[in-house]
A and B are shown apart, each in its own frame.
Chain A
């Protein structure tokens, strides 16, 4: 299993994907501690300036530096996505393990709840939850985590079910190890790989969902910048200041491209039949 992670094929796509995600994480880290200008500083004398040496990506309708806002937006979007994915993964693994371990009624209840949640298409469930939780950073994390937990539960549960029947798990039981020890020592580690693959893809979906919700005005409220609310704010100025809409969207697209390329590389590795030669 470890070979999958350390022996990723060095295809151009995988390299580009790694590069894009590397740059994204660097930008998010940088945006947390330093930006060239204060992303919230309003300067009406510098309104709607096109990209130039002073403001690399121009300024917005309040004279705020777009590059600084994009950096700060990167750290907001990445931290929201990471928290969401972490919450969904941990909750999904615990619930999935419990369902696979306890079986019976617990399992039946877990399955019907996850099935129901998965019956809501796309970001509809997140929209519904936001209607209850209110639109803010924590509401978004909670709503998206709840919306994405069922897929983790499903993957972990089916893995636990098939692993229970394998020889090494039976061997552990025969050796006199308790059920809980066997689960923690032998079943759980074998769920890590598929969950990691899922979590990688999920990071992209969550980031896109967060951007979409922020774009709709249901995400992180202004003036705090996210790529989604920057895009939304750019709409009235699209013809006179197109850079306001072009760059935040480009950030989202390049991030998703990086994740898709990395995801393809991992999947190709796991399913060698689909590998391109």
Chain B
């Protein structure tokens, strides 16, 4: 187990490094003086010279990269050109907002979708199965930003049950915070339920065909015991990997939902930085989101043996 964990962690290190190289090169691809790009047109000559020296801009690229990586390791991602705030704390604040929504949404979606998918597989080719598959395929096809707008129109404007746009932190006012995140969370839940349910159904079908399931049934176990004790754990393992991928992917794709509901999250920060050509923030967001994606997948992989102990062998 320890060996499995260490191998898996060691494998994530080169990926992180290559991501760092990609982001470093991406910013260097932009025509113009990197010092001007990172400090903005309004920077004074003194700080420009300072930046050029500390980032080794007169040195060859590998040296620049090493210096840049050193700053990165020290948590120094520079300051936002537009607001002057330090990039890392800024990203962290926004990340908490996005992560709350994403984690709650994916947890709720899994709680609905995994049982639904298993039920559909258990009753394969029945009306229930057809309903789950049709519903999942339909939900899979709905773009999140459109669904969000429709929910906003229905619950926010026509019925007036929920606030239309904005965000309140949970620490400030729990009730209000809840009211503000209901719609964005519901949007993401509906969009992801389809994907997870289809995966849960497919992997349950695979498991149900296996001999040990027939054996469990032949022993006279109730269907509930067969599904709950014998099928669930094996069928859930592939779904678990998918859930991890969805968690990471949503962090990259949540910008659209944050735009619909005007939520100050990480996705919106990146998009606004792209509009403002705020390169330190762009660079920080790209690194941070890709890093979180890699770490989430790493954690998912490390937890995988809980569901399927065979992988450590």
**Given A122-B252, A131-B282: A253 in contact with B271 (beta carbons within 8 A):** no
Q: Is A10 an interface residue (CB 8 A)?
A: no
Interface of B (DSSP majority class):
helix
Interface residues of B in 120-167 (CB under 8 A from A): 124-125, 133, 137-138, 140-143, 145-147, 149-150, 152-153, 157
Q: Is A211 an interface residue (CB 8 A)?
A: yes
Interface of A (DSSP majority class):
helix
Q: A: which residues have CB within 8 A of B?
A: 13, 112-113, 115-117, 119-124, 127-132, 135, 208, 211-212, 215-218, 231-232, 234-235, 238-239, 242, 245-246, 248-250, 252-254, 256-257, 259-261, 264, 273-274, 276-277
Give the contact stretch, choosing among B18-26, B47-55, B304-312.
B18-26
A-B contact count (CB 8 A): 142
**Given A116-B19, A119-B15, A131-B274: A245 in contact with B149 (beta carbons within 8 A):** yes
**Given A127-B271, A260-B137: A119 in contact with B153 (beta carbons within 8 A):** no
B273 CB to closest chain A CB, in angstroms? 8
Report B-chain residues with C-beta under 8 Å of the C-beta of A261.
137
Closest A residue to B165 by beta carbon equals: A235
Contact pick for B290, options A120, A249, A257, CB 8 Å: A120
Q: Mark B239-254, 1 if CB is under 8 A from A, else 0.
A: 0000000001111110
Indicate if the CB atoms of B149 and A238 lie closer than 8 Å.
yes
Closest A residue to B23 by beta carbon equals: A128
Indicate if the CB atoms of A252 and B255 lie closer than 8 Å.
no
Q: Give the complex CA separation of A277 and B129 in angstroms.
A: 12
Chain B: residues with Cβ within 8 Å of the partner, total of 54
Indicate if the CB atoms of A121 and B290 lie closer than 8 Å.
yes
Q: Give the complex CA separation of A130 and B22 in angstroms.
A: 14
Q: Give the complex CA separation of A249 and B150 in angstroms.
A: 9
Indicate if the CB atoms of B205 and A274 lie closer than 8 Å.
yes
Q: Is B294 an interface residue (CB 8 A)?
A: yes
Q: Is B196 an interface residue (CB 8 A)?
A: no
Report B-chain residues with C-beta under 8 Å of the C-beta of A276.
124-125, 133
Q: Give the complex CA separation of A123 and B112 in angstroms.
A: 26
Indicate if the CB atoms of B26 and A120 lie closer than 8 Å.
no
Q: Give the complex CA separation of A117 and B294 in angstroms.
A: 12
Listed from nearest, the 5 A-B pairs whose CB atoms lie closest are A249-B146, A122-B252, A116-B18, A121-B252, A124-B252
Q: Is B300 an interface residue (CB 8 A)?
A: no
26 residue pairs A–B, Cβ–Cβ below 8 Å: A113-B18, A119-B18, A121-B290, A121-B293, A122-B252, A123-B253, A131-B26, A131-B274, A131-B277, A131-B279, A135-B274, A208-B143, A212-B255, A215-B145, A215-B256, A218-B271, A231-B145, A232-B259, A249-B145, A249-B146, A249-B150, A250-B146, A254-B141, A256-B140, A260-B140, A276-B133
Closest B residue to A217 by beta carbon equals: B275
Contact pick for A132, options B14, B29, B152, B209, CB 8 Å: B29
B19 CB to closest chain A CB, in angstroms? 5
Report B-chain residues with C-beta under 8 Å of the C-beta of A117.
22
**Given A128-B286, A257-B141: A121 in contact with B253 (beta carbons within 8 A):** yes
Contact pick for B138, options A248, A257, A273, CB 8 Å: A257
Q: Is B106 an interface residue (CB 8 A)?
A: no
Closest A residue to B255 by beta carbon equals: A216
Q: Give the complex CA separation of A246 and B153 in angstroms.
A: 10
9 new A-B contacts at CB < 8 Å, known A121-B253, A131-B282, A250-B146: A119-B290, A120-B252, A121-B252, A124-B253, A131-B274, A248-B146, A249-B149, A273-B209, A274-B205
Report B-chain residues with C-beta under 8 Å of the C-beta of A232.
259
Highest count of chain A CB atoms <10 Å: which of B14, B146, B260: B146
Highest count of chain A CB atoms <10 Å: which of B140, B145, B271: B145
A131 CB to closest chain B CB, in angstroms? 5
A204 CB to closest chain B CB, in angstroms? 8
Highest count of chain B CB atoms <10 Å: which of A113, A216, A249, A256: A216
Indicate if the CB atoms of A277 and B22 lie closer than 8 Å.
no
Q: Give the complex CA separation of A274 and B286 in angstroms.
A: 38
B246 CB to closest chain A CB, in angstroms? 10
Report A-chain residues with C-beta under 8 Å of the C-beta of B202.
274
Highest count of chain A CB atoms <10 Å: which of B142, B143, B202, B286: B143
Report A-chain residues with C-beta under 8 Å of the C-beta of B293.
119-121, 124
Q: Is B30 an interface residue (CB 8 A)?
A: yes
Q: Give the complex CA separation of A273 and B206 in angstroms.
A: 9
Q: Is B227 an interface residue (CB 8 A)?
A: no
Q: Give the complex CA separation of A211 and B149 in angstroms.
A: 14
Indicate if the CB atoms of B18 and A112 lie closer than 8 Å.
yes
Q: Give the complex CA separation of A107 and B177 in angstroms.
A: 51
Q: Is B39 an interface residue (CB 8 A)?
A: no
Report B-chain residues with C-beta under 8 Å of the C-beta of A253.
141-143, 146
